[in-house]
Amino acid sequence: MDHGWLPDLIYTGDAFESGAALFAENGTITRLSRDPDDLKRATRLPLRAILPGLVNVHSHAFQRVIRGRTEHRTTDRDTFWTWRVSMYHAANKVSPEAMYHIARMAFLEMALSGITTVGEFHYVHHDSGGTPYADRNLLAKQILRAADEIGLRIALLRTAYVRAGWNKPSDPGQARFITPRAEDFIADTEALRSSLTGRASIGVAPHSVRAVPLDYLHEVAAYARTNALPLHMHVAEQPAEIEACIGEYGVRPVELLHRENILDSRFTAIHAIHITPNEAANLGRSTVCACPTSERNLGDGAVPADLLYDAGAGICFGSDSNVQIDILEDARLLEYDLRMNKLERVILSDGSDLSQRLFRSATATGATSLGVDAGALEPGRKADFFSVDLNDPSLAGADRASLLDHVVFALERTAIRDVWVDGVRIIEEGRHPLQDEVVEQFTAVQRSLW
């Protein structure tokens, strides 16, 4: 028999509705019911509104260990590239067991913030010297184990990394990432794919144009298309990446991907910051994952969301370096960065409801990018959702018409009280059952690393 939940309000994608219960069976939403008999047997959630779970499309879980460790100047000019040196240093100190504890910490924090699905862009594959483990997917399995224990849905985006860059010598800091042959990368991915269980799925991610040469990229893209897998890729995050691509191929990164027929509806460009209007048009059939909190922290620049929306591209969000984990903060920053640059307000509304557009990007568009049936409270979708306390100070005074605006532009994590994945409650009254253990073990890892 299915199970139902009866909050004060349910967000249906267009508005908040009252007097209705959401029902699910075997982890899938079956219906929204106003039948009196259904309402009587549904679990009452007083002073709560429920919304579809947030989708974090782009995470590097291991980078959670460097939060707060890089906020100081290391050279005369600190940039993404100097930050990367510190990140590589941390990546090369993490053991398989530490990877598990770090990922649990990152995923716990995601769950506490209303995230129900994560896309983990996973590129730490080997031991610190670059030698594959006996189980070539050992570290990926530690990530999957962590997500399963926290209860998150995960799309593991297994990442191909081949070189330091065009005309660059190998970088010892990248040794754990490198898989020189495309056939080995595909075989390892297929082996992991065949072992998946539960809420896990898989996609592939050529790291970037600078890290993956064109012939290798074509092999990975062909594998993704043959198996209908999501294909994600860092694109145009830094100006130096643009310059290197022009030097090697004579065109900019998005132009190259367009020319080589890599861009399609299953492709997600991560960042896509330094692009031209023509490149935005080239991305019109694809999705762009913006990571505004991380991008601001790294000094990357701002995603030209207005150009991308106008071109028809989907936009979703990621926590990326996990310097802060708050997908709704990323949603509002997408708009706020444009306001700062253009000296205008409400730029991304385009005649439609701004909060609806941003919330859809944080949920349904992200689910589409990862190839999961989530992101909306509709029959046939996964029963992934979260509740907010209508009496939380950050939502106080909101009425039904303004509640989504409050959620998108003002909600604090204190308002998120419960989180369900597959209809199973993983956060209850703002806490996870493993929370104390996860924090304690992560703290021990940090003490050993630093």
Contact in structure between 275 and 283 (CB atoms under 8 Å): yes
Active site residue 271: yes
Domain ranges, ordered by start, for the chain: 3-52+377-435, 54-370
| 2, 320, 337, 389: the active-site residue | 320
| 271, 274, 406, 432: the active-site residue | 271
pLDDT band at 352 (very low <50, low <70, confident <90, very high): confident
Which CATH class name applies to 3-52+377-435?
mainly beta
pLDDT surpasses 90 at 265: yes
What pTM value is reported for the model? Answer: 0.98
Residues linked to residue 427 through DSSP beta bridges, in sequence order:
419
Question: Which residue, 164, 163, 75, 176, is CA-closest to 123?
Answer: 176
pLDDT at position 81, please?
87
pLDDT at position 74, please?
81
DSSP for 5-36, written as a single string: EEEEEEE-SSSEE-S-EEEEETTEEEEEE--H
Each residue's pLDDT tens digit, 162-200: 999 999 999 999 999 999 999 999 999 999 999 999 999
Output DSSP code: residue 320: B
Each residue's pLDDT tens digit, 268-300: 999 999 999 999 999 999 999 999 999 999 999
Phi, psi of 78 (to 5 degrees): -90, 130
pLDDT band at 449 (very low <50, low <70, confident <90, very high): very high
DSSP for 250-280, written as a single string: SS-HHHHHHHTT--STTEEEEE--S--HHHH
Each residue's pLDDT tens digit, 31-65: 999 999 999 999 999 999 999 999 999 999 999 99
pLDDT at position 33, please?
97
pLDDT at position 350, please?
74
Task: Average the pLDDT over 112-125 and give the result.
Answer: 98
Q: Which CATH superfamily is domain 54-370 in?
A: Metal-dependent hydrolases (3.20.20.140)
Active site residue 234: no
